[in-house]
Chains A and B, each alone.
Chain A
Amino acid sequence: DAKTTQPPSMDCAEGRAANLPCNHSTISGNEYVYWYRQIHSQGPQYIIHGLKNNETNEMASLIITEDRKSSTLILPHATLRDTAVYYCIVASNTGKLIFGQGTTLQVKP
């Protein structure tokens, strides 16, 4: 399974967009990019996933570079409740999800 690299922590002002980067330079052609988040003391929560095209849902947008070696998760208007650890995962075709250390996002008032 391809590995991902994320910054350990980021800050964001409440109401502003949070842009969380992820590098996955060894991603294979059939592997998806997934984003999950874990709010303190809760189980991880699925956010969004993509293969090649940019994706948007009610929670976030996912921008994948044309070479697929990196991606950015965008929370358009961050709130205090978005404070969490965000995990970028590249899923193999077996579907096994391997979590790294993620990025701790702190949204500040």
Chain B
Amino acid sequence: GAGVSQSPSNKVTEKGKDVELRCDPISGHTALYWYRQSLGQGLEFLIYFQGNSAPDKSGLPSDRFSAERTGGSVSTLTIQRTQQEDSAVYLCASSSRRSRATEAFFGQGTRLTVV
């Protein structure tokens, strides 16, 4: 596909369960971001992958959150032992570095509801 693809689009899970959210970036894009957006709030940065560099994990809210990017392409965000406060839309974005410009393309997000 031409854009960033995220799956699932919606996920309802029980408190305490683990969830995996997937992001397929635009082919060839070296940078990948994860953000979350709670209802009525702005975008909260979670993690940033850039090429082969170590990921910037400075935005992950707790050790229950982790992410990996396999082969420099697909990324998975894992939330362990989900809590109700984890309910949010999780957004993925990718970009291609051109000089120092960073135009990011966003997916439509995964809406996570923890019940």
Contacts and interface: CB of A to CB of B under 8 A. Distances in A.
Interface of A: 30, 32, 34, 36, 38, 42-46, 49, 85, 87, 91, 93-102
Contacts, number: 61
A43 B108 contact: yes
Nearest to B53: A94
Interface of B is mostly: strand
B105 A100 contact: no
B103 A94 contact: no
A87 B97 CA distance: 20
B33 A97 contact: yes
A99 B42 contact: yes
A44 B104 CA distance: 9
Contacts of A43: 4, 91, 93, 106-109
Contact of A102 (B42, B45, B97): B42
Size category, B interface: 20 to 34
A96 B56 CA distance: 9
16 contacts: A32-B102, A34-B102, A43-B91, A43-B108, A49-B102, A87-B42, A87-B43, A91-B102, A94-B48, A94-B50, A95-B100, A96-B33, A96-B48, A97-B33, A99-B45, A102-B42
Given A49-B103, A95-B31, A101 B42 contact: yes
The 6 closest A-B pairs by CB, nearest first: A43-B106, A99-B43, A95-B102, A46-B103, A96-B48, A101-B42
